[in-house]
Amino acid sequence: MGMIVSSRREKNKVVVVAALDHEELVQLKGEIDDIHIFSEKVADLQTNISRRGKNEATKYFLIPRHLRKDLSIREPVSCQRINTPDKAIFVYVVNKNVFHEVKKMKNNMIN
């Protein structure tokens, strides 16, 4: 598991020095831009998993109700699985601009 070794302010940014396990670095697949730092301890919203199908083989990660507002996904969503020694962390990436376009379309239809 990674940890922040040091940080310092530089103009409008914070420069962070992080120490990562080799496995975590490999999961970045060489990407060095558009990196997001998060902690599993911050994930405090409770949600559920819906199971369907034969032997409940299909599983759906449910979005909590209060996070679904103005959410209309009309394009593919990408997902990454991050493995730690005792957990599997799933990160979903949804294009935020699509939501604004859907909202604009709804407002134009009403007017």
Let me know how many helices (H) and strands (E) the chain has, helices first.
2, 6
- pLDDT, tens only, 58-106: 999 888 888 877 677 777 888 999 888 888 889 988 876 655 554 555 5
DSSP 3-state of 1 = coil
Answer with the residue of higher pLDDT: 110 or 47. Answer: 47
pLDDT category of residue 6 using cuts at 50, 70 and 90: very high
DSSP 3-state of 82 = strand
pTM tops 0.75: no
What architecture (CATH level 2) is domain 42-111? Ribbon (2.10)
- Domain spans in the chain, listed from the N-terminal domain onward: 1-37, 42-111
State percent of the chain over pLDDT 70.
Answer: 84
